[in-house]
Structure 1
Amino acid sequence: MPYDPKTMNDDPSALRGRFAGLSNKLIATIIGVILLVEIVIYFPSVASFRNTWLEDRLRVGVVAARVLDAVPDVMALPRELTDRLLTSAEADAIVYRRAGQSQLIERAEPVMPDIVTMADLRQRDLPSQIMGAIDTLLAGPGRTLRIVGEGDSEESLVELLMPEQPLRRDMLDYSRNIMLVSLGIASVTAFALYMVVSRLFIDPMVRLSANMLAFRKEPDNAALILTPSSRRDEIGIAERELAAMESDLFSMLRQRQHLADLGLAVAKINHDLRNTLTSAQLLSDQVATLDDPNVQRLAPRLVTTLDKAIGFAQAVLDYGRDAVAPPKFAPVALRPLVEEAAFEARLSGHPTVAFVNQVPADLVVTADAGQLSRVFLNLLKNAREALEKLNGGGDPLEVVVSASASAGLAGAMAQVSIVDNGPGLPPRARDNLFVAFEGSARSGGTGLGLVIAREIVQSHGGQLSFVDQPKGTRFDLTLPMAPIEA
């Protein structure tokens, strides 16, 4: 059956706890192989047990033969002695043959057997012994066993007639004990081998499978890119190749999204650039024909218009070329990072806007410092520009950054809030806040800053969201405080 992602269980935990998993297949295979080996060993073992059992009974017959030799021919053995010999051998009759003569010891009431099978102990080859053992195990009740073996003198034979049921009962008990011992050995061996093989092979394969399932669901989350181990075998090669493939896929998807946004915005870019540059052209024509006072008055407008056109075009080109690389995770202290971003955004020491950094000094996250700095720089710069539009006269203008740590299902997370008491976002900007070229809150903006910021936060395994409030603007970030394990 071909693999269909839509019909497969996406839960990585489904890889465990059912027979389809490698762990259970491994245990079943190990136990099966050990039991198969035990079965191969069992038949020679039970044949040896049967042969030893028969030889023990034959020894009693040899003792009886010695007694017969010691008794003169004219005398008969006492019934008490014969019964004792027959009881010791569990036999109904003992026959001693030597030099063409036969001597018989039997019970007072002879037993006439219906079915007799012979066990010739003179045959020492293993196949014959195994076939005899199998025949005994499969025999039904009521059979009589005729045991034939050599006596203790030359050219002498000893024969015993006895019920086969005691031998079969003892063989079944022996088989049961062998089975219990075999199961115990198989279980212990399987567990020991499983622990070793699981450590070396199964756990890495489960990690690879879980990572592939998780990354398939969120290919834009760079925190899910596999961190390969230092193994040099085939599993190590698979880990490194999977990590490289996921990194390439992450970059390709990000570039594709950027190019798609660019394609949708081509018409708008051309229109805005044409209008802006047309205005610049008209103003430059007027500058060329006017006297010096008018040049002084029109020149700033010309420069501003051209700056807008250049800035807009440059932002679009930067977005198209921005192939966001996977983050290089390392411990980062948030407070100095926010402080540095505020300085670059020209908030530190601003004459009219106060900057308040309330991030705890000991709050550390696992992130790419360079990429995370871009996020804070964009958000703080947007806040400063929004507050600079106000003429004052009301509450003191300020931008406050606060943070705290919290625990969730995904692990320890840092919650960061960036709040200003400015005019807030217009409705159009709120509706298209994270849409490229649509979510700008200021005239001449491209709307790319928040889109790139959200992409960076998502690639860290976090979230960037806008929080609606009656006054001002607030953005919340969630960032993992420890690396995400796939």
Structure 2
Amino acid sequence: MKDQPNAMAGRFPGLSSKLIATIIGVILLVEIVIFLPSVASFRTTWLEDRLQVGVVAARVLDAVPDVMALPRDLTDRLLNSAGAHAIVYRREGQSQLIELTNPVMPDTVVTADLRQGDLPSRVWGALDTLVAPPGRTLRVVGEGDLNESLVELLMPEAPLRRDMFDYSRSFALVSFGIAAVTAFVLYVLVSRLFIDPVLRVTRNMLAFRKAPENASLILIPSRRSDEIGILERELADMETELFSMLRQRRHLADLGLAVAKINHDLRNTLSSAQLLSDQVATLDDPKVQRLAPRLVTTLDKAIGFAQAVLDYGRETSIVPQFAPVNLRTLVDDAAFDARVAGNPLIAFDNGVDASLMVEVDAGQMGRVLVNLLKNAREALEAVPGEAQDFRIEARASADPERTVITLRDNGPGLPPRARENLFIAFEGSARSGGTGLGLAIAREITEAHGGTLAHVDEGQGTRFDITLPVRRTEG
């Protein structure tokens, strides 16, 4: 396995940093949503305070018969206390004005009507004040303390804008403080409940991946009953099963290597014994002539078993090399190799369409067909009694998704014991002395092609279906 040293570089580049950033981001987003109506309320309150000074000035105007008779220093103090350049008082269709001794001529005048109390208008007004260029003059309009009276103030916008920026800075500092404290508290809680267990599981997976045969690295699950607890227990069970499987696989690999060596030498020895038995069979001694066939048959079985074991180890480790193959030709070649084609006791019918092409490894898929046809031939030849009308047929059907190859014979069928152990090496043989490797090899080759090999019970005879997916080339 390839090591990944940077998979767990530290705590903060992973879930922890994302968690902190998410918490702070959400809190700041909430603070921004709160800030807009808050700064709008601050602006409204600030303007209402200035307007109250204008209301006081309006009362003074009401109390004086002639506004022009008011001392200039008094009117200037009233205006300076409101921060205004001029105050207009309107009542019963009449207007009264007081202004500074040295009037200021505004360049740009923006109206702030405090009679509009809806939130969108207030928020828009606050944003307009914050982003407005300097030098503007506000015309503040509000109701007086008497019925149907209005008070208007003309004042520079700069003091309001300055106070709003001061308020915004204070709000931002408080917001960042709240976000930092909240994020820290939530981080500590979430880390204890979620992040630390996830990091523990992740580190265990990375460590176990490097040394899956080290039993001390198997995760010890906690007593949690939530999803993380389930994850820990399932991971511990999986690591335990994988540990046992790898140990068993290693032992089987070592054993298989030893058996393969022994099997190879045994096959050579049996081949030599077979040559000797063939020479012995040529002798004229009656006893030798009677015993020699049995000796030859026994040696043939032993050699066949040794060869089957070697083939089983070799075939299951080769990756299929896919190429377009004519299926009818492949079936004909397999029938010849399995000694089915031309067999005097068995009629073979290849009903596969001559134009049907499949994309398979011709050598491996031919081995599958040979094993199935050979099993069918041996089953029919083992039927006791006189020769019967034995028959083996091959059929194929195809659609845009898959190709199904059917091999069927009209023999006695599979015995119950063979059906129970189909496709299990050394156990799935239907005849005495068989290894059961043929079907095991056939199934593994078919699965390596992405397909399935299945026995179909039709009540009479034996039928196997090979289902192969249609391979599509990308692009």
TM-score bracket for the superposition, by shorter chain length: 0.5 to 0.7
Secondary structure at 1:91 match in 2: coil
Q: Does the Cα contact within 8 Å between 1:93 and 1:161 map onto a contact in 2? A: yes
Secondary structure at 1:227 match in 2: coil
AA matched with 1:38: E
Corresponding residue for residue 17 of structure 1: 12
Shift of the alpha carbon at 1:16? 1.3
Shift of the alpha carbon at 1:69? 1.0
Separation in structure 2 between the aligned mates of residue 251 and residue 10 of structure 1, nearest angstrom? 29
AA matched with 1:28: A
Corresponding residue for residue 28 of structure 1: 21
Corresponding residue for residue 56 of structure 2: 63
Question: Residues 2-401 of structure 1: matches in 2 within 5 Å?
Answer: 6=2, 8-9=4-5, 12=8, 14-18=9-13, 21-73=14-66, 76-266=69-259
Secondary structure at 2:12 match in 1: coil
Question: Residues 401-480 of structure 1: matches in 2 within 5 Å?
Answer: none
Q: Does the Cα contact within 8 Å between 2:3 and 2:210 map onto a contact in 1? A: no
TM-score, with structure 1 as normaliser: 0.53
Shift of the alpha carbon at 1:70? 1.2
Separation in structure 2 between the aligned mates of residue 25 and residue 271 of structure 1, nearest angstrom? 60
Using CA pairs under 8 Å that are at least 6 residues apart, name the structure with larger relative contact order, 1 or 2.
1
Shift of the alpha carbon at 1:9? 3.3
Separation in structure 2 between the aligned mates of residue 75 and residue 203 of structure 1, nearest angstrom? 79
Shift of the alpha carbon at 1:76? 1.4
Shift of the alpha carbon at 1:55? 0.2
Q: Deviations over 1:381-434 (max 9, x none)?
A: xxxxxxxxxxxxxxxxxxxxxxxxxxxxxxxxxxxxxxxxxxxxxxxxxxxxxx
Structure 1 portions without partners, runs of 5+: 275-486
Secondary structure at 1:147 match in 2: strand
Q: Does the Cα contact within 8 Å between 2:16 and 2:195 map onto a contact in 1? A: yes
Separation in structure 2 between the aligned mates of residue 45 and residue 87 of structure 1, nearest angstrom? 27
Shift of the alpha carbon at 1:17? 3.1
- Provide closer, same or farther for how the CA distance between residues 64 and 267 of structure 1 changes in structure 2, counting only shifts above 3 A: closer
Separation in structure 1 between the aligned mates of residue 259 and residue 101 of structure 2, nearest angstrom? 118
- Provide closer, same or farther for how the CA distance between residues 185 and 9 of structure 1 changes in structure 2, counting only shifts above 3 A: same
Q: Deviations over 1:287-325 (max 9, x none)?
A: xxxxxxxxxxxxxxxxxxxxxxxxxxxxxxxxxxxxxxx
Separation in structure 2 between the aligned mates of residue 132 and residue 73 of structure 1, nearest angstrom? 37
AA matched with 1:145: L
Shift of the alpha carbon at 1:15? 4.3
- Provide closer, same or farther for how the CA distance between residues 105 and 271 of structure 1 changes in structure 2, counting only shifts above 3 A: closer
Q: Does the Cα contact within 8 Å between 1:144 and 1:163 map onto a contact in 2? A: yes
Give the % identical residues: 77
Secondary structure at 2:69 match in 1: coil
AA matched with 1:123: Q
Q: Does the Cα contact within 8 Å between 2:54 and 2:152 map onto a contact in 1? A: yes
- Provide closer, same or farther for how the CA distance between residues 6 and 118 of structure 1 changes in structure 2, counting only shifts above 3 A: farther
- Provide closer, same or farther for how the CA distance between residues 163 and 259 of structure 1 changes in structure 2, counting only shifts above 3 A: same
Shift of the alpha carbon at 1:221? 0.5
Secondary structure at 1:152 match in 2: coil
Separation in structure 2 between the aligned mates of residue 124 and residue 90 of structure 1, nearest angstrom? 23
Secondary structure at 2:236 match in 1: helix
Shift of the alpha carbon at 1:259? 0.8
Secondary structure at 2:184 match in 1: helix
Secondary structure at 1:231 match in 2: coil
Secondary structure at 1:136 match in 2: helix
Secondary structure at 1:242 match in 2: helix
Q: Does the Cα contact within 8 Å between 1:15 and 1:206 map onto a contact in 2? A: no
AA matched with 1:16: R
AA matched with 1:17: F
Q: Does the Cα contact within 8 Å between 1:116 and 1:143 map onto a contact in 2? A: yes
Separation in structure 2 between the aligned mates of residue 63 and residue 7 of structure 1, nearest angstrom? 81
Number of aligned positions between the proteins: 267
Separation in structure 2 between the aligned mates of residue 114 and residue 8 of structure 1, nearest angstrom? 68
AA matched with 2:161: R
Secondary structure at 1:56 match in 2: helix
- Provide closer, same or farther for how the CA distance between residues 267 and 170 of structure 1 changes in structure 2, counting only shifts above 3 A: closer
Separation in structure 1 between the aligned mates of residue 133 and residue 201 of structure 2, nearest angstrom? 57
AA matched with 2:86: A
Structure 2 portions without partners, runs of 5+: 268-475
AA matched with 1:83: D
Q: Does the Cα contact within 8 Å between 1:10 and 1:213 map onto a contact in 2? A: no
Secondary structure at 1:144 match in 2: strand
AA matched with 1:134: L
- Provide closer, same or farther for how the CA distance between residues 7 and 179 of structure 1 changes in structure 2, counting only shifts above 3 A: farther
Corresponding residue for residue 374 of structure 2: none
Secondary structure at 1:159 match in 2: strand
Separation in structure 1 between the aligned mates of residue 248 and residue 40 of structure 2, nearest angstrom? 74
Separation in structure 2 between the aligned mates of residue 120 and residue 169 of structure 1, nearest angstrom? 20
Q: Does the Cα contact within 8 Å between 1:143 and 1:165 map onto a contact in 2? A: yes
- Provide closer, same or farther for how the CA distance between residues 149 and 209 of structure 1 changes in structure 2, counting only shifts above 3 A: same
TM-score, with structure 2 as normaliser: 0.54
Shift of the alpha carbon at 1:73? 2.2
- Provide closer, same or farther for how the CA distance between residues 215 and 86 of structure 1 changes in structure 2, counting only shifts above 3 A: same
Q: Deviations over 1:171-203 (max 9, x none)?
A: 111011111100000110011011111100000
Secondary structure at 1:118 match in 2: strand
Separation in structure 1 between the aligned mates of residue 67 and residue 119 of structure 2, nearest angstrom? 43
Shift of the alpha carbon at 1:272? 11
Separation in structure 2 between the aligned mates of residue 210 and residue 216 of structure 1, nearest angstrom? 10
- Provide closer, same or farther for how the CA distance between residues 173 and 256 of structure 1 changes in structure 2, counting only shifts above 3 A: same
- Provide closer, same or farther for how the CA distance between residues 40 and 76 of structure 1 changes in structure 2, counting only shifts above 3 A: same
